[in-house]
Structure 1
Amino acid sequence: MNRVVVVGASAGGLSAAEALRRAGHEGTITLVGDEPQTPYDRPPLSKQLLGGDWEPDRLALRSGPDLDALALELRLGVPATALDPAARSVTLADGVRLEYDALVVATGVRARRLPGTDGVAGVHTLRTLQDALALRARLRAGRRLVVVGGGFLGTEVAAVARGLGVEVTLVEPAPVPLAPAIGEQAGRFLTRLHQENGVRVRVETAVGEVLSAEGAVTGVRLTDASVLPADEVLVAIGCVPNTEWLADSGLTVRDGLFCDEYCGAAPGVYGVGDVARWYNPLFGTDMRVEHRTNASEQAMAVARTLVGPGERRPFAPVPYFWSDQYGTRFQAYGHLRGHDEARVLDSDFAGRRLLVAYRTGDRIAGVLAAGVAPRPLRALRALVAARTPWEAALADPNAG
């Protein structure tokens, strides 16, 4: 293996390149990215950058000298448009064809948009650095922001905007924000946190129409016929995997690039990060994880497979994510979505403390915590990793 092409100048793509070099790969590594910037960190976009605590230069994942030391062939600002697995080549938007011995797909996701809002000033999504800077420029005290979607991105932006003195309304079609992902108890905890910080939360309704005048947003009409005046609207209704360039490749694309337990999608082709839907044997299901930690860990696993195929082993992590809101850090381990039961082990809203365990089938599948000491959280993570039966997990004296 001499030529490696990494499509996606993301955290996962950069991690794959770094891991390959650490493992001794001396051949060429070409890093392709659709954005003109060198790889940068995305989690701070909705937190430190949006709130004005950081400037863009702090987002760079590696300095110029560190990137130079990797000896990468950088092709930035030019997206990939096609893949031919038989010829082992990738075509870029400028017509260049890159041949490879191994390909790492790390193209990530893009924000889902509301139909009919293209070109309307004041309607935002948040996925890129440019998105975050455009929204930050318009958030100031007294402005009215409607956040469409009560997931982690929407709630993080709502929290930052309230800290800037913005009037915020959060719109969520489910009865409890985030309940499909983390359960009703944790969703209510987070909702109450927002309400106590002045966010108006509208549930069991959705956006029927974005109102505008002279090309700029003026409000949102909901499906219950009520109208929310707005100076800005953030659309946070999920993401779409960037797989269109793979349409004629013959690879399986199903809400992401479908991969096996080794993150392989085809001979010589591997998926990494938000775009990859892979089979996780620890939980016995395929999953696509949109979190920074998973992207880096998956990239390192793929690099190990490429450089040392004799040590090939399944990628079977306990996924991890975090979210900071109003000075409270939420952390979660495991596969929470699709759980059969969420049991509160500890809850003290006044103390901003919450601990919830999740069951899928007869096993503990995950844990979510806020304001909890590290020891019980680590203990529960270990039980998830061991696929401990549910009742045995809850009987563990360190769990909770």
Structure 2
Amino acid sequence: MVDADQTFVIVGGGLAGAKAAETLRTEGFTGRVILICDERDHPYERPPLSKGYLLGKEERDSVFVHEPAWYARNDIELHLGNTVTALDRVARTVRSGEDGTLAHYDKLLIATGAEPRRLDVPGTDLAGVHHLRRLSHAERLKGVLASLGRDNGHLVIAGAGWIGLEVAAAAREYGAEVTVVEPEPTPLHGVLGPELGSVFAELHQEHGVRFRFGVRLTEIVGQDGMVLAARTDDGEEHPAHIVLAAIGAAPRTALAEAAGLELADRAHGGGIAVDARLRTSDPDIFAAGDVASFPHPLYGTRLRVEHWANALNGGPAAARAMLGQDVAYDRVPYFFSDQYDLGMEYSGWAPPGSYDQVVIRGDAGKREFVAFWVKEGRVLAGMNVNVWDVTEPIQQLIRSGAAVDTEALADPHVPLNSLVS
């Protein structure tokens, strides 16, 4: 067991950091646990920010990982509103806050997450330009969407990824007019490929969302600090009262990079390079969540996963590795989304070019189906849309690595469990 006099420091107060702190205690660690968060809110979960909380269907307190009193009750030294500005690997210290407070560590976990990518076009300094990553962003956007709905206002969204589409759905439920600008030919093109992106395009079009595919935002036009319109590279001008930049997120690696830790190649999504134990190039420093790039044995490549389940599971895995336990982090990537009356879950990893066919089980037209991305008969990923309780067999199919009969895979009358070797 780890010495009770040791100090473990966690940098990053998101879900990964909070669950790592919880795991250290449940696994019996009795040393100091210091959790440093640059936000002033207690650690919270991010999915509600673009789903239930944004829609006003969930209360603000429901987003927090633990109630505020939990941290003191479990002897977690929580430092909110403190940014870690330096990491000294020789002295084993981190410096944080305006006063430059030093904290010594025996083991360190970096769970700094990711930050929204910024639009590089004129007009991004206008008051009506939004991002959605933090609770404060969601609070502001929630009020703005409600106002747009009352006044028949216009929202332009740059990017048809998960955040862009979920905000589009929320905005339409509030009654706002929505235009989505996306350079790819379909929504979610980099995740689902062209075969399934059309399902989400049709869903949103049925709810009144206008898409402009194959174009990019080039300028946000405003007056007196307010947004008036958004221009695209096809020469069109779209009315807008607010603009949401939803063009992805970048891992927050500045601290690690300045300390000389190894980073993953951008071709693999960037991030801090870790091994199967989530350990960085420094054996006393670990990384988890959105910022970590880990080798995945199922896919034979490094993955950096920006979804809730990776933070939920990665934080505890890193904590156990910090305690010296034998850890091999190989979770099948998983995420979910809710848009209007469509609920979906996705397991696996199958970017365009990695598969040779998409097999559909069910009725895609009715949006009640399971899709499988398959290469040489082997299931790389699966997505269930308005079909439930199938995540476990889908993940078992992925993990098995065995070739399956694609006709049986497409047949709803053949139980998925029967296809697992």
The TM-score normalised by the length of structure 1 is 0.94
In structure 1, the residue matched to 2:74 is 70
In structure 2, C-alpha distance between the alignment counterparts of 1:219 and 1:20, rounded to whole Å = 50
Say which of 214, 222, 227 aligns to 1:204: 214
State the Cα distance separating 1:92 from its structure 2 match.
1.2
Say which of 265, 270, 279 aligns to 1:264: 279
Q: Which moved more, 1:121-130 or 1:363-372?
A: 363-372
Contact 2:276 2:294 in 1 (8 A): yes
Tell me how many residue pairs correspond in the alignment: 396
* Cα deviation code 1:205-237 (max 9, x no counterpart): 110111111111111110000010100110000
In structure 2, the residue matched to 1:315 is 329
In structure 2, C-alpha distance between the alignment counterparts of 1:349 and 1:380, rounded to whole Å = 18
Matched AA of 1:286: R
Matched, 1:357 2:372: yes
In structure 2, C-alpha distance between the alignment counterparts of 1:305 and 1:190, rounded to whole Å = 39
In structure 1, C-alpha distance between the alignment counterparts of 2:308 and 2:94, rounded to whole Å = 25
Instruction: Assess, with a 3 A threshold, how the Cα gap between structure 1 residues 297 and 133 changes in structure 2: closer, same or farther.
Output: same
The TM-score normalised by the length of structure 2 is 0.90
Say which of 389, 395, 413 aligns to 1:381: 395
Which stretches in structure 2 are left out of the alignment for 5+ residues?
265-269
Q: Which moved more, 1:105-114 or 1:353-362?
A: 353-362
In structure 2, C-alpha distance between the alignment counterparts of 1:267 and 1:219, rounded to whole Å = 51
State the Cα distance separating 1:392 from its structure 2 match.
4.7
Q: Which moved more, 1:67-76 or 1:49-58?
A: 49-58
In structure 2, the residue matched to 1:341 is 356
Question: Superposition pairs for residues 137-176 of structure 1, below 5 Å?
Answer: 137-139=143-145, 140-141=148-149, 142-176=152-186
Contact 1:6 1:29 in 2 (8 A): yes
* Cα deviation code 1:163-208 (max 9, x no counterpart): 1100001111001111221121211001100001110111001101
Percent same amino acid at aligned positions? 35
Question: Superposition pairs for residues 266-281 of structure 1, below 5 Å?
Answer: 266-281=282-297
* Cα deviation code 1:36-73 (max 9, x no counterpart): 11101111011112112233222221112322222111
Matched, 1:325 2:301: no
Matched AA of 2:350: L
In structure 2, C-alpha distance between the alignment counterparts of 1:43 and 1:276, rounded to whole Å = 19
In structure 2, C-alpha distance between the alignment counterparts of 1:361 and 1:33, rounded to whole Å = 45
Contact 1:379 1:398 in 2 (8 A): no
In structure 1, the residue matched to 2:249 is 239
Matched, 1:80 2:84: yes
Say which of 230, 252, 264 aligns to 1:220: 230
Matched, 1:300 2:316: yes
State the Cα distance separating 1:393 from its structure 2 match.
6.7
* Cα deviation code 1:228-272 (max 9, x no counterpart): 010011000001111112232110123211111111102111111
Say which of 111, 119, 133 aligns to 1:127: 133
In structure 2, C-alpha distance between the alignment counterparts of 1:65 and 1:32, rounded to whole Å = 16
State the Cα distance separating 1:24 from its structure 2 match.
0.4
In structure 2, the residue matched to 1:38 is 42
What is the CA RMSD across the aligned residues, in angstroms? Answer: 1.8
Instruction: Assess, with a 3 A threshold, how the Cα gap between structure 1 residues 393 and 22 changes in structure 2: closer, same or farther.
Output: farther
State the Cα distance separating 1:279 from its structure 2 match.
0.9
In structure 2, the residue matched to 1:136 is 142
Instruction: Assess, with a 3 A threshold, how the Cα gap between structure 1 residues 10 and 364 changes in structure 2: closer, same or farther.
Output: same
Q: Which moved more, 1:377-386 or 1:251-260?
A: 377-386
Matched AA of 1:315: Y
Which stretches in structure 1 are left out of the alignment for 5+ residues?
none
State the Cα distance separating 1:361 from its structure 2 match.
6.5
State the Cα distance separating 1:89 from its structure 2 match.
1.3
Query: Counterpart of 1:51 in 2: which secondary structure?
Result: coil
In structure 1, the residue matched to 2:119 is 114
Matched AA of 1:276: A
In structure 2, the residue matched to 1:248 is 258
Query: Counterpart of 1:153 in 2: which secondary structure?
Result: helix
Instruction: Assess, with a 3 A threshold, how the Cα gap between structure 1 residues 300 and 221 changes in structure 2: closer, same or farther.
Output: same
In structure 2, C-alpha distance between the alignment counterparts of 1:110 and 1:143, rounded to whole Å = 27
